[in-house]
Amino acid sequence: MSLSHAQATQRFYDVIWPLRGALLRTASFLMSPGSQAEDLVQETLMKAFRAIESLDVKSNPQAWLMSILRNTRIDKLRAQARSPETVGLEDLDVAAPLSPPERADQNIDPAETLEQFSDREIIRALQQLPEDIRWTLLLVDVEQMEYEQAAAILDIPAGTAKSRVHRGRMMLRNSLLAAGAANGEAS
Amino acid sequence: MNAEPLRDEDAVQRAVASRLGKLRSFPVDTSRVDRVMRRQIPPVAARKRWRWMGQLSAAAASILIIVSLMFVMLPGRAVQASASEMAQMHYDIVSGKVPTMKADSIQEANEAIAAMAGNSVRLPDSPSAHTMSCCMRDIGNKKVACVLLEDGGAAVTMSVAQAKDMKPSAAPAQIYNGITYHVTSIGKLNMVTVERGGKWICLMSETKAERLMQLADRLKL
């Protein structure tokens, strides 16, 4: 049975509307500063509204919405004659997990070290990672989704999602430490 | 094989995951998206939703609502801010569920709030915390100015109203630096309320209640 316009609107405001903050946050972290995260979110929300009948309200609406966000992002990039930056795991220039930059003090608690970076510094470092890695970290670590759920959104096997998260965390940490070391040298 | 590096690697993995998890409470300003979307998809008017209820029940409900509103809106009637209501407000602001305006200082927040509601209460300056965003909320029929602060890495919401508009808190009292605070907790959140300079001030955060009292103590009224 198809929904009337009023019913579709109601479902949109009941189910999708409360998720717009998370959607905008993901888009803002995903895209480089100055890019049009709000436009991407608006386009995603419009697509979600048009497809609201296909949403199974008993499923995870956030995962559904994130899939639309990702597809919209890919469409936009293709329209700009670019494809999202993809990276093969073998191509990742990840320092060996236990070879962080020279200046990192191995004795410092890693959690303590990371707390020294502000949210904005962490976001900036995140935005420098390859897009596939960034997406996986955003879904698994920021939005706290299960690997299987994130993998379904990204259309990859769960094992690949796990590898990306593992490598992405190391890349992020190393990039932060390198930036911290560079700042230390500069000052 | 040395097992030590693997333990270190696990610790790094956990630390990064935990640090990234904190970004979930990073505030976002949805006001522009909200404005555009509400224009493109106008919300269903309440009367349409009630069609199914039948005219009689809708009329009865309307009368009940009007009577309730008249009762609640009697001038001078102070309202009670429950811990659950304040916790919901905190989470809504922190998660970006409610529109907020970016503000880099309390002065900016006060200007934004004055633009939204001209005669609203002014937020006291909080020199030790970083200001992030602000908004106006309602508790009962009373306007409350809210600001999201970052204090030592923790998200803190400060809500401020005229003291005469709010009923005194029933939470247990604690004295800090000669000032009486009412302290309670709900879930992971601690809530500290105080009346100072004719203002009702409520601080909420996952940080310790003592830390919130210190923060409140340093406010410049």
pLDDT one digit per residue (tens) for chain A, 187 residues: 578 888 899 999 988 998 998 999 999 999 876 668 999 999 999 999 999 999 887 788 999 999 999 999 999 888 876 555 554 444 444 433 334 444 445 557 888 888 888 888 999 999 999 999 999 999 999 999 999 999 999 999 999 999 999 999 999 999 998 877 666 654 4
In chain B, the domains with their CATH numbers are 3-73 (no CATH), 83-217 (3.30.200.100)
Chain B contact set for A12 (CB, 8 A): 41
**pLDDT the model gives residue B44:** 77
Does this complex have an ipTM over 0.90?
no
Tell me what pLDDT residue B30 has: 84
Q: Which neighbouring-strand residues pair with B133? A: B102, B148
A42 interaction partners in chain B (CB closer than 8 Å): 33, 36-37, 40
Minimum-distance CB partner of B43 among A13, A111, A119? A13
Q: For B13, name the nearest residue in chain A, comparing CA atoms only.
A: A169
In the DSSP assignment, the letter for residue B176 is E
CA dist., res. A114 & res. B20, Å (int): 10
DSSP β-ladder status, B101-102 and B173-176? unpaired
Q: Exposed (0-12), middle (13-18) or buried (19+): which is B162, by Cβ within 10 Å?
A: middle
pTM for the predicted model, two decimal places? 0.56
Q: Report the residue from A20, A25, A170 with minimal CB separation from B26.
A: A25
A1: Cβ contacts below 8 Å, ≥ 6 apart: none
Cα(A82)–Cα(A79) distance, integer angstroms: 7
A33 touches chain B (CB under 8 A): no
pLDDT value for A98: 36
Contacts of residue B37 in chain A, CB cutoff 8 Å? Answer: 20, 42, 45-46
Contact flag A115-B5 (C-beta cutoff 8 Å) = no
Q: Are A63 and A153 in contact (CB under 8 A)?
A: yes
Kindly determine whether residue B17 and residue A169, on different chains, have CB atoms separated by under 8 Å. Answer: yes
Enumerate the residues of chain A whose CB falls inside 8 A of the CB of residue B14: 110-111
Between CA B187 and CA B175 the distance in angstroms is: 23
Return phi, psi of residue B146, to 5°: -125, 145
* Residue of chain B nearest A8, judged by CA positions: B44
Residues on chain A touching B40 (C-beta within 8 angstroms): 42, 46
**Beta carbons of B12 and A13 less than 8 Å apart:** no
